[in-house]
Amino acid sequence: MSFDREQVLRDTADLLSRRATASMDEIAKAAGVSRATLHRHFPGRDALVRALGTLGIEQTEECLDAARIEEGDPVEAVRRLITEAMPVSGFLAFLYGENQLYDLDEINDGWARIDARVAALFRRGQETGAFRHDLAPAWLVEALYALIAASAWSVLDGRMARRDSARMVTDLLLGGMLRAPRETGST
């Protein structure tokens, strides 16, 4: 039987996003591998968490690339980004809540690159007049991450249908950050 590293990491992230204190035995069971196999590929929990962080950076950058967030209308770019992020939202939910990862330079550098790209999208939306100016791009980045994580937890817990998650995140985020059209003729 071959070892699918990415699938094991995705299964691990799904479990740890719901139960952060799961044991290595529980992680192995959730991933469908033996504890010995898990330990052979990840000698301990720290190595497993580092691998999760690295894969999370890679997957998030792939989502940004697939969404083409530097192209076109900023509102549509946000919609594309959320749609692309939904398939890995459970993984992103784990990463969002895992403070241990932020002590590692390579993980910090990766998130800094991602944050800069997403913040640039929000700034572009502000510059074009589509997004509110009173909301800092850094805050909008955090709000996006929080909404994606919350949608993943809601889907995992059966409180939201997976097919509705992208629309619900998009509607809530854009509903709060779009500039209202100017009213004309009112006093």
pLDDT in tens, 56-102: 889 899 999 999 999 999 999 999 999 999 988 877 887 777 766 56
pLDDT over 50 at 124, yes or no: yes
More confident residue, 45 or 27: 27
Distance between CA atoms of 170 and 136, rounded to whole angstroms? 18
Query: Rg (Cα) of the chain, in Å, rounded?
Result: 18
In the three-class reduction of DSSP (H, G, I as helix; E, B as strand; rest coil), residue 178 is classed as: strand
* Packing angle, helices 5-18 and 89-97, rounded to 10: 60
Q: CA 36 to CA 27: how far, in whole Å?
A: 12
pLDDT digit string, tens, across residues 31-42 = 999 999 999 999
- Half-sphere exposure in the Cβ direction for 55 (13 Å, CA): 19
